[in-house]
């Protein structure tokens, strides 16, 4: 042990050890001391690698980013304070007043809000089109379209975007294709292999996997696009917490196991509840009755993911009864937790829409979305059977 400083105000040196820690250290330091002004100059000018101030980057974020880079086949990805911070970095880093962004028409609610409210306020034009229909996307392109933002699998109807057609459009017209890959994860789909220019994640969801951190990740194919997004993120302060990065890295070690198990459970659950009395329909991309089954089978290479959506007969009395009967399944508007969670679009993600618009999207009162976790499949199936029966027994 090195010498104890003469006042407690001085930092105590880290104990030396001839063995090394197996686990990534957690480094919460905001500031980094340099050896001299020359050394600091070298850092700022890029002649030497070094951290200076945590808003501009820190080791726990870099360790996490490198891991997700590897999964996505990306390089130079970086971590942000939330998935929405990643959406913000993409939009504000790459767009200026007068540009147009085209979005898929079933984006995550807050991404939708970004397009409907925040960007227009800054003079950026936005519009939406159906990403399952390449011709509809092509028709929505304007001379000033600079970016297209899509999700591969939509929430909660699990529609699959025509990524090849949209990527071809973007290539032909020099438009940046930005793909939010949160739902599919790199285990289900790797957008850079399919022509994406920018890929982003809400790491909060499946990647971290334990509902205890809020983080985002983003990467770009082009170094200039990356630099623009990073500069914007550092200036706007979209910084991730080192502890969150550390937790998310810890979560990633079990990601593949969790994902595969949850996916297997989801496929089994979908098939088990589809024939039950009181169930109007079940949506799961790998089921032959899914509207995008063929595209899913081809594009997602057989990976259906962990999300299942189903609709029961009846109204609020029945949906209340189902949630109350499903005592062990958290009724919570999130996804990707290690445990199964249940959400109800009509009262959560899609509550801002009119009942007519919800009906148009097929999101009536009876629709539930399940983010399937890693519990034993038989247990889950029994719990859902009982909850659906309880709903049906409600007058």
Residues in contact with ligand PLP by the rule CB under 6 A: 82-84, 108, 110-111, 151, 180, 182-183, 202, 204-205, 214, 216
Cβ nearer to ligand PLP, comparing 90 with 374: 90
Residue 95 burial class via C-beta count within 10 angstroms: exposed 0-12, middle 13-18, buried 19 and up? buried
Distance CA(154)–CA(156), nearest Å, equals 6
The minimum distance between CB 194 and ligand PLP, in angstroms, equals 17
DSSP for 152-203, please give it.
SB-TTT--B--HHHHHHHHHHHT-EEEEE-TTTHHHH--GGGGT-SEEEEET
| Residue whose entry in the numeric block shows the structure tokens 């105000």 | 9
Cβ nearer to ligand PLP, comparing 103 with 278: 103
Cβ nearer to ligand PLP, comparing 82 with 145: 82
The minimum distance between CB 159 and ligand PLP, in angstroms, equals 13
The minimum distance between CB 241 and ligand PLP, in angstroms, equals 13
Angle, nearest 10°, between helix axes 377-392 and 255-273?
40
Is residue 180 a contact partner of residue 108, using CB atoms and an 8 Å limit? yes
Distance CA(74)–CA(240), nearest Å, equals 20
Cβ nearer to ligand PLP, comparing 182 with 319: 182
Side-chain-side CA neighbours of residue 118 (13 Å): 12
Cβ nearer to ligand PLP, comparing 54 with 114: 114
Select the residue whose beta carbon is closest to ligand PLP and give its number: 83
Tell how strand 198-202 and strand 216-220 pair up.
antiparallel
User: What sign does the CA torsion over 119, 125, 129, 135 have?
Assistant: negative
The minimum distance between CB 110 and ligand PLP, in angstroms, equals 6
Cβ nearer to ligand PLP, comparing 183 with 284: 183
The minimum distance between CB 4 and ligand PLP, in angstroms, equals 43
The minimum distance between CB 17 and ligand PLP, in angstroms, equals 36
């Amino acid at each position: 042990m090195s010498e104890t400083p003469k006042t407690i105000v001085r930092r105590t040196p880290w104990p030396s050890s001839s063995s090394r820690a197996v686990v990534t250290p957690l480094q919460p330091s905001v500031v980094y001391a340099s050896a001299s002004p020359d050394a600091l100059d070298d850092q700022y000018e890029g002649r030497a690698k070094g951290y200076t101030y945590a808003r501009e980057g820190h080791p726990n974020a870099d360790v996490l980013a490198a891991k997700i880079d590897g999964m996505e086949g990306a390089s130079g990805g970086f971590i942000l304070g939330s998935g929405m911070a990643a959406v913000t970095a993409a939009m504000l880093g790459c767009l200026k007043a007068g540009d147009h962004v085209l979005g898929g028409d079933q984006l995550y609610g807050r991404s939708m809000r970004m397009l409907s409210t925040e960007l227009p306020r800054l003079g950026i034009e936005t519009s939406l089109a159906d990403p399952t229909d390449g011709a509809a996307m092509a028709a929505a392109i304007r001379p000033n379209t600079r970016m297209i933002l899509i999700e591969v699998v939509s929430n909660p109807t699990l529609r699959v975007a025509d990524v090849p057609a949209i990527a071809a459009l973007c290539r032909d017209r020099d438009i940046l294709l930005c793909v939010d890959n949160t739902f599919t994860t790199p285990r289900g789909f790797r957008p850079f292999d399919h022509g994406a220019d920018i890929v982003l994640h809400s790491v909060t969801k499946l990647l971290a996997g334990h509902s205890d951190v809020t983080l985002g990740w983003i990467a770009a194919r082009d170094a200039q696009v990356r630099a623009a997004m990073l500069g914007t993120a550092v200036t706007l302060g979209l910084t991730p917490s080192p502890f969150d990065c550390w937790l998310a890295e810890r979560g990633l070690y079990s990601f593949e196991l969790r994902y595969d198990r949850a996916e297997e459970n989801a496929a089994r659950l979908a098939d088990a509840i589809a024939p039950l009395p009181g169930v109007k329909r079940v949506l799961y991309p790998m089921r032959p009755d899914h509207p995008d089954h063929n595209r899913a089978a081809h594009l997602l290479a057989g990976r259906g993911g962990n999300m299942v959506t189903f609709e029961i007969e009846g109204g609020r009395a029945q949906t209340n009864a189902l949630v109350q009967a499903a005592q062990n399944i958290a009724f919570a508007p999130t996804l990707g937790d290690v445990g199964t969670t249940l959400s109800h679009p009509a009262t959560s993600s899609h509550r801002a829409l009119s009942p007519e618009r919800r009906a148009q999207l097929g999101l009536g009162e009876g629709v539930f979305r399940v983010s399937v976790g890693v519990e034993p499949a038989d247990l889950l199936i029994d719990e859902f059977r009982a909850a659906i029966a309880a709903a049906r027994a409600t007058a």
